[in-house]
Amino acid sequence: MLALMRAYVRGIDAVNRRIGRVVMYGIFALMGVLLWSSLSKTFLVPSLWTLEMAQFLMVAYFILGGPYAIQMGSHVRMDLLYGDWSPRRKAWFDAVTVGLLTFYLGVLLYGGLASLAYSVGYFGTEPVGFLAGLVAGTSETAFLERSSSPWRPYMWPIKSVMCFGMACMLLQCVAEFFRDVLLLADVPVEDRLA
């Protein structure tokens, strides 16, 4: 069982590391959109799409970079007491708190999937089943949600990114729980930066 946990941690860490290393360059795309927005408002006719595109890019940057931040231990942490604890005590505390985070992310992912199902035209009470049928080709859509802004982009692409990011974050939280269990069992796991 510990070997399976170790393999899971390695696999999820590798996937989220690759995604995070690619997504971190998204800040340059965001800067480009904001620069164009400033230039077009100053010298040309203001673009309708820049504000909303900047919001979409920021959401993607934040949501897809979250699992990498968790993996690297780069998220905000209250170190008033935690900083002086031993690694084993930290692992015990983290194992409990990651359970709470996992529950929260599960609820958040379900809400995201319901919002994604709505954006592709589902108004019922079983969004996960509808999306599974949509992927399998057995569900149909007749309505695609659009933003209420003048640009009116479709909403399903950014909602898909959000759901994917939340799923990656949920998988990374499970990997962090397994990492804590392995530390408590004195099973070595490679360094986070490897």
- The confidence band for 28, taking pLDDT boundaries of 50, 70 and 90, is very high
Is a pLDDT exceeding 70 seen at residue 192?
no
Range of the domain at 138: 2-184
pTM of the predicted protein model:
0.88
Whether residue 190 lies inside any domain: the answer is no
**What is the residue-averaged pLDDT of the chain?**
90
Whether residue 82 lies inside any domain: the answer is yes
Q: pLDDT by residue (tens digit) across 58-101?
A: 999 999 999 999 998 887 777 788 888 888 898 899 899 999 99
Is a pLDDT exceeding 60 seen at residue 22?
yes
Tell me which of 73 and 30 has the higher pLDDT. 30
**What span, in angstroms and rounded, lies between the C-alpha atoms of 47 and 39?**
10
Q: pLDDT by residue (tens digit) across 103-115?
A: 999 999 999 999 9
Whether residue 194 lies inside any domain: the answer is no
Residue among 92, 65, 68, 78 nearest 177 (CA): 92
Whether residue 169 lies inside any domain: the answer is yes
Phi, psi of 146 (to 5 degrees): -125, 155
Is a pLDDT exceeding 70 seen at residue 191?
no
HSE of 179, CA atoms in CB hemisphere, 13 A: 24
Residue among 165, 11, 181 nearest 94 (CA): 181
- The confidence band for 193, taking pLDDT boundaries of 50, 70 and 90, is very low
Query: pLDDT > 90: what percent of the chain?
Result: 66
Whether residue 152 lies inside any domain: the answer is yes
- The confidence band for 194, taking pLDDT boundaries of 50, 70 and 90, is very low
Whether residue 189 lies inside any domain: the answer is no
* Cβ pair 157, 54 in contact under 8 A: no
What's the mean pLDDT in 138-158?
89
The number of domains in the chain is 1
Tell me which of 155 and 75 has the higher pLDDT. 155
